[in-house]
Each structure stands twice: as structure tokens, then as C-alpha cells.
Structure 1
Amino acid sequence: MTRFGYTLMTEQSGPKQLVGYAQGAEQAGFDFEVMSDHYFPWLEEMGHSPYAWSVLGAVAHATERVELMTYVTCPTVRYHPAVVAQKAATVQILADGRFTLGLGSGERLNEHVVGEGWPGAHVRQEMLAEAIEIIRKLLTGEMVTHEGDYFSVDTAKLWDVPEQGLDIGVAVSGEKGIEQFAELADHLIAVQPDAELITQWNAVSGAAQIPGKARAIGQIPVSWAPSEEEAVTRAHELFRWFGGGWEVNADLPTPAGFDAAAQFVREEDVAGAIPCGPNLDKIAEAVKKYVDAGFTDVALVQVGDERQEQFLTEAAGPLLEKLRAL
């Protein structure tokens, strides 16, 4: 049975609000919660970008049942993988084993801030693979020294290691990425309801199978509101960047760049890509694409901050009933 999650969207809400939404999502019945990890929002209208790991610690303390996950963290430029290993281990302990470390190769939008440049896509993938190797070593609790192609680690050791271990999910978008990461990761992360991704993952020798030991974790934006007009307007204001695709989005440096790239995106374009309005059947039909593709987990993104509480208290319960009936 597919599990359904809620996205703690750091780009559109402040840190205290996110902790409150995490509690509300748990009470509404969501199975898990994922959190984005950005330095910038995609658009200035979104208005927020608190430090995800501080918020995760608070969420781990404020919730009891829901599983938690980064969706996703880049452990290569803005963060050194040794630091990612330490904070992921700490969150896993705070969450009593409910945390999964979701990783990806990153976006220039967030990673350029440390002034180390932005490598090409193939280099980013190689850096991610080496970072996973380092994180895995440190999670053993042993002393680690590493001299690789991209990273050095000098006699590092994690002193607080979770007894439960720590699963790692990796964001992939095609066959090449799957071939590179299926054996390194525990779970697949993808933002398109593409059944072929799961088929390709399962075909990799040594990869954990989906469904089974491995999970396929997807994500879909929705814009619920009492009126369709309001929902479409908000989705266009805050998520018009969404149609560019990750090959474009990964290389844009600032919110101004995303704004320029999306200047010709119309409200009807966004409404065609994101289910908008009060019709829960319409939202469920969009989510069903992931269920039909074989995804084991699907996280919903409720677009905008102003309707989050109402979404969680009024719409989430009935929507989850419809989703679980799929």
C-alpha cells in the first residue's frame, strides 16, 4: 500500500510555522513528512528559507509518529559530507529512528553561496557518489580518513551514532543516475511519476528491490483552496518556476533568474500542471499517477503558506481517505 506524506516547504514558511505544520500533519494522519533544504527560495514571492536542519531538530522533538526525511540535501558544495553525516546522525537520534537522509546533486541557487563555483552535471554526480561513501563510513562510528577526487576527511569520527542506522535515499531522474546510485542508496527519490525509473532501478545488480526493501519516494505539488480561482492565482504566483524542469532549474543562480525564466508562464499553464482548487477528487487523480507508476511513498506539497492550517484541518483528512482508497 502506498504511503502518503506532507512536505514542510522551507521556501514558503518560517521556522516556527513549519514546526506547527509538522504537528498538524501528524494529527491529520499523514504517514511521513519531508523537508526541503534551501538557502534561497525559488522566487522572492515565496519569502522564506530557514535552516532546514535546525527546523528538523525541532520537528523531531515536536512529533512522535511520522517518519521524517530531507527532500533533498546536497552534501557536496554548501555542506561537506562529513558535516552532513554528523547532523543526519543527530537528527536520527532525536527522531528515535524515524529519519531518512534524502540526498541529491543540488541546485546552483543554493550551493553558489559559499563561493566555490558550480561544477558541471557529471562532476556533481561524481561528487555525490563520493559524498555517500564518506557518509556511510562515518555512520559506522569508526575513525575515518579519506583522500578522494573531491573531498578530504582528516581523522573524523561521529561520537553520537544512531543505533538504528540511517537509510539514504538519492534523487535520480534517468537511467544514467540510476546506474550510478542504485547500489549506493537504500531508496529512490524522483519527482516524476515514471514507472520506468523503478524498472531501471530494479534491473541494477545489487540494488534493493522496489517494492520490498527499497522505497520509491515521489512528490507532487497541489494548490488546495476554497475556490479554484484563488488556488490557481496562488499556484502561479509561487510555483510558476515549476515548469522549467530540473535540467534548467539546477543551473539558475538566483530567484531573479527563476522569475525571468518563468516570465511567460501563464496561469492556465500552471493550472494544467498542478491540481488547483477545492476538488479533492481532482487532487487524488493527480496523485494516482504515482500510485499507478509503482511509487511506494508520495509526498504532497500544499502551495503557499496562507492556507496551510486550513488544508491540514479541513482538507487533509478527507483527502487521505480518498488517496488510501486508490
Structure 2
Amino acid sequence: MTEIGHKLICEEHGPNDLAEYAQLADRSAFDYAMISDHYHPWTSTQGESPMVWNVIGAISRATDDLRLGTAVTCPIMRIHPAIVAQAAATAGAQLPGRFFLGVGTGENLSEHILGDRWPEHAVRLEMLEEALEIIRTLWNGKTTSYHGEYYTVENARIYTLPDELPPIPIAADGPKAARKAGEIGDGLIAISPDEELIGAFEDGGGENKPRYAEVSVCYAEDEREAIETAHEVWPQAALPGELMWELPTPAHFEQATEAVSEEDIAEMVVCGSDPDEHIEAIREFVDAGFDHVAVHNVGSNQAEFVEFYEDEVLPAVQ
């Protein structure tokens, strides 16, 4: 059975709106939600980027049953893993049995802000592995000291712990990271329907672990309106290669996306109100081996999007 989630995007929406959208998802036929964790939006047009942990606290009070996970938190630079461990433990206590901590190696866009050097991916993957060791050790609830290659923790103890510790799925955009996710993670998170990622994840030990995917759409009754909205708000979806992880500021993304056309975006983001196109985008991930697919709707018409999916899309894919 495939579970369909609602992706909450902090880069597009303020904290109160995000809590409202989570409430919409909680009352809908969506199975869960995921929420992004950024310091900066991709472009200034998106216009928002609230602190995700404050928003999670608000969502915990606004919802009753919604499962929620970060997608994704980077616990290696901007926020020390010992602080992420405390934040996620608190979120787990606020959302008992309903929270998971999705992690990854991050993007330069949000992680460079303290002036640290942006390491190559292989180093960031090593840092992530050490960070998860710290997080899980602190979740034992005992006084902990840790002196590793990348991090130091001295006499730290987390007192507020949930009864059920959050699972930690790991984001991957290549086979090496996917293999590591299978080895040390509690699941996989990816943004492309790549069977090679699934194979590497299983090779690393992820055979029976959940696989989360994300797909971007832009719902509007008028397809042209949807394409224009997606092009204005989410142009970085059409950027090639590793630019998403390497560009350091929204201004750089704005420069990089100047050449992105509406046609380019229409190829990357499902635009409009044809349910078959939305269903096909989800099934592409399901066919690749994902059992959870979170849908990000570009724009502010989240209530209309939820209604459309409940009526036209979810019955065909859940």
C-alpha cells in the first residue's frame, strides 16, 4: 500500500499558514506530512523561511493524528547534532508516535551561514554518520561525552525524551548516499524516481525500511495559470546537476534560474487540474519502488489542492 503525504514548504509559507495547512492535511485523506528545514528560501520570490522547530511545535497543537517528518534537517553544520537531538526529542514528545527526523547532507544555501567551509559530499556524508551516532547516543537519556573527528560533546544529557524515539530516514541523491541510508538510516528519502537509488538502499540493508519520495505539482483549474505560478515561485526545479547543493545564496539561484523558461518548469512540475497527470507522477515513484510519496503543491491555494486530491487523485493511488 502506498501512503501519500502533503509536503509543507517553509520557503513558501509563514509559520501560521504552515500550521493551518498541516491542520488541513490532518483532516484530509492524506496519510502524513513532511516539512522542509531551511535557513534561506531558494529565491527571494518565495519569501519565507521560518524556523522549522517552532513550526513543528505549532503543528503539534493544531493536529490530532497527523504524522510529520522533517525533509530534511541537516545536522552537520548550521545546527550541531547535539542540538538537533534535543529539538527532535522535544518534537517526538509533542507528537507522540507521530514524528520522524528526516536528515541529509544539506545544501550550501542554508548551511554556510556561520562561515564554515562547505565540504565535498564525501566529507559531509562522514559528518552525517558521526552526527547520527551522537543523536542516537544522546537519545539514551544518559550523560554523554563524545570526542569525534568532527564534533565534540561534553557532559550533555537530554532530559525530555518521547516514549517512542523518532525514526531517522536519510535523504540521498546518489547510490553512495542511498547505500549509507540503508546501512545506518531507518528509511530513504529521495526526489527522483530512480530505481538505482532503491537498489543501492537495499544493498546497504534497507530491504524492509520505508522509502519516502517527494514530487512537486502546481494545481490550478487553468493550466497556463499553474505554469506561470510554478515558474515564478519554484524555478529552481529545472536546475541541472549539483547546482541545488552548491549555490550559496538566493541571489545565486535567481541568477541561475534566469534562463529557466516556463516550458522547462512545465516538464519538471505537474501543472494544472488533469488528475491523470498527477496520478501518473505519483505512480512513477511507486513503480520505482517508493512506498511513501509526499506531494508539494506550489503556491498558496493549499485548501483547493487538498480538495482536488481528495476527490480526484488519492482514491486512485492509495
TM interval, shorter chain, is: over 0.9
Instruction: Please say if 1:247 is aligned against 2:266.
Output: no
* Rounded Cα–Cα distance in structure 2 between residues aligned with 1:139 and 1:4: 29
* Rounded Cα–Cα distance in structure 2 between residues aligned with 1:191 and 1:314: 23
Displacement of 1:315 in angstroms is 4.0
* Rounded Cα–Cα distance in structure 2 between residues aligned with 1:180 and 1:6: 26
* Rounded Cα–Cα distance in structure 1 between residues aligned with 2:139 and 2:198: 27
Displacement of 1:92 in angstroms is 0.6
Q: Which residue of 1 aligns with 2:78?
A: 78
Q: Is the 8 A contact 1:281 1:322 kept in 2?
A: no
* Rounded Cα–Cα distance in structure 2 between residues aligned with 1:80 and 1:320: 38
Unaligned runs of 5+ in 2: none
Q: Is the 8 A contact 1:29 1:317 kept in 2?
A: no
Q: Which residue of 2 aligns with 1:274?
A: 269
* Rounded Cα–Cα distance in structure 2 between residues aligned with 1:246 and 1:162: 39
* Counterpart pick for 2:302 among 303, 308, 313: 308
1:125-166 residue CA offsets vs partner (Å, 9 max, x unmatched): 111111011001011112111101110000111101111122
Match of 1:102, SS? coil
The code of the aligned residue for 1:309 comes to A
Displacement of 1:178 in angstroms is 2.6
* Rounded Cα–Cα distance in structure 2 between residues aligned with 1:182 and 1:121: 17
Q: Which residue of 1 aligns with 2:139?
A: 139
Displacement of 1:320 in angstroms is 1.1
Displacement of 1:225 in angstroms is 0.4
Q: Which residue of 2 aligns with 1:295?
A: 290
Match of 1:72, SS? coil
- Of 240-249 and 295-304, more deviation after overlay is shown by 240-249
Structure 1 residue ranges (4+ consecutive) displaced by more than 6 angstroms after TM superposition: none
* Rounded Cα–Cα distance in structure 2 between residues aligned with 1:181 and 1:303: 28
Q: Which residue of 1 aligns with 2:220?
A: 225
The code of the aligned residue for 2:315 comes to E
1:237-266 residue CA offsets vs partner (Å, 9 max, x unmatched): 111111224621111111110111111111
* Rounded Cα–Cα distance in structure 1 between residues aligned with 2:129 and 2:311: 39
* Rounded Cα–Cα distance in structure 2 between residues aligned with 1:104 and 1:245: 19
1:101-133 residue CA offsets vs partner (Å, 9 max, x unmatched): 000101111111122232222211111111011
Q: Which residue of 2 aligns with 1:320?
A: 314
Q: Is the 8 A contact 1:238 1:304 kept in 2?
A: yes
Displacement of 1:300 in angstroms is 0.2
How many residues in Structure 1 have an aligned counterpart in Structure 2?
Answer: 318
Q: What is the 5 A alignment of 1:1-326?
A: 1-204=1-204, 207-209=205-207, 212=208, 214-245=209-240, 247-305=242-300, 307-324=301-318
Displacement of 1:85 in angstroms is 0.3
Match of 1:37, SS? coil
Q: What's the TM-score once normalised by structure 1's chain length?
A: 0.95
Q: What's the TM-score once normalised by structure 2's chain length?
A: 0.97
- Of 226-235 and 58-67, more deviation after overlay is shown by 58-67
1:262-314 residue CA offsets vs partner (Å, 9 max, x unmatched): 11111011101111001111111111101111101000000012x11221234
Q: Is the 8 A contact 1:284 1:319 kept in 2?
A: yes
The code of the aligned residue for 2:225 comes to E
* Rounded Cα–Cα distance in structure 2 between residues aligned with 1:156 and 1:46: 38
Match of 1:154, SS? strand
* Rounded Cα–Cα distance in structure 2 between residues aligned with 1:281 and 1:181: 32
